[in-house]
Amino acid sequence: MEKKKILFVAQEIFPFLPKSDIASTARKLPQGIQEAGKEIRVFTPRFGSINERRHQLHEVIRLSGMNLVIDDTDHPLIIKVASIAAARMQVYFIDNDEFFKRKNTVADDKGEFYADNDERAMFFCRGVLETVKKLGWKPDVIHCHGWMTAPMALYVKKLYSKDPHFADTKVVYSLYNDTFNKNWDSRFAEKLKFDGFDEEVTNCFKDTSCEGITKSVIGFSDGLNVASEVLSPELKAIFDEATCLKQDFVPEEQQAKVLSDFFNKVIEESVAI
């Protein structure tokens, strides 16, 4: 039987960035899923605070060189890669000077979230999908970690739904207490329209608060799991209201087994439907 393919897309990963709920889970879970018998790929943004020399990042020339248009502006896509030897795991980095070269990740020195985080998220998600296509690797499930991965379900379910590479791909979104307190650009829906989304989709994204984006994204997802041990009341309410397949929080030592089974369930239920 062919191994199931799980694509992990994470806003941050340890040891390239400091430990956090997201960074730690995105480091350990793919290794556990791989050891459970599935094939994996892992993608993250190449933020400017990542030390390329220390972590031995290098550009993958055959995957780089594409331009992605976001809000009518061309942005070069650069792909880099590094290894986590202890996990026998490669990590691919989505890079672009304008979006990711700045020294901080999602907010400036004063803690102000960047005004273009919506476009950075769009570029990141599209960059991942285009690179996976170039790799010739068809994921059964894309598992998303962090709000910068929020647009992924939209692209897979709407923009790439007729692409044979992603026609059967399912998307699982993880809920973390990591949120943003500055709304995404009020033109986010307009930018999605320029990207090729119809009004049925863009009308879902008039509320660009973190809560609004999260609710809308889950509506396009096949599965949802709780990744922080204690969720805020707002996120817990969103989880409770969701109608897709759901998996509540499980301790770290059980995560790989439980989520591997959950991925199987998401794949199987979708096939049954």
Domains parsed from the chain with CATH numbers: 5-266 (3.40.50.2000)
d(CA 58, CA 4): 28
In total, the chain counts a number of residues equal to: 273
Q: Which of 50, 34, 115 has its CA nearest to residue 82?
A: 50
State both tokens at 242: 């969701």
Instruction: Tell me the pLDDT band of 269, cut-offs 50, 70 and 90.
Output: confident
What is residue 250's predicted lDDT score, i.e. its pLDDT? 96
CA of 190: how far to CAs of 54, 91, 171, in Å? Answer: 40, 32, 24
What is residue 273's predicted lDDT score, i.e. its pLDDT? 36
DSSP label at 155? Answer: I
258: pLDDT strictly greater than 50: yes
DSSP label at 18? Answer: -
What is residue 175's predicted lDDT score, i.e. its pLDDT? 98
State both tokens at 31: 């290794």
State both tokens at 155: 């692209």
State both tokens at 1: 């039987």
Instruction: Tell me the pLDDT band of 270, cut-offs 50, 70 and 90.
Output: low
Give the mean pLDDT of 225-241.
96
* pLDDT one-digit tens code per residue, 191-226: 999 999 999 999 999 999 999 999 999 999 999 999
* pLDDT one-digit tens code per residue, 77-117: 999 999 998 889 999 999 999 999 999 999 999 999 999 99
272: pLDDT strictly greater than 70: no
168-202: burial string, b at 16+ Cβ within 10 Å, e else = ebbbbbbbbebbbebbbbeebbebbeebebeeebb
State both tokens at 11: 């806003």
47: pLDDT strictly greater than 80: yes
- To which residue do tokens 């799980």 refer? 6
* pLDDT one-digit tens code per residue, 144-203: 999 999 999 999 999 999 999 999 999 999 999 999 999 999 999 999 999 999 999 999
In the chain, count H helices and then E strands: 10, 10
Q: Read off the amino acid at residue 103.
A: K
Prior bond of 45 cis (ω within 30°) = no
Long-range contacts at 74-80 (CB < 8 A, ≥ 24 apart): 75/99, 75/123, 77/123, 77/127, 77/130, 77/131, 78/46, 79/127, 79/131, 80/46, 80/52
Contact 264, 4 (CB under 8 A): yes
Average per-residue pLDDT in the chain? Answer: 95
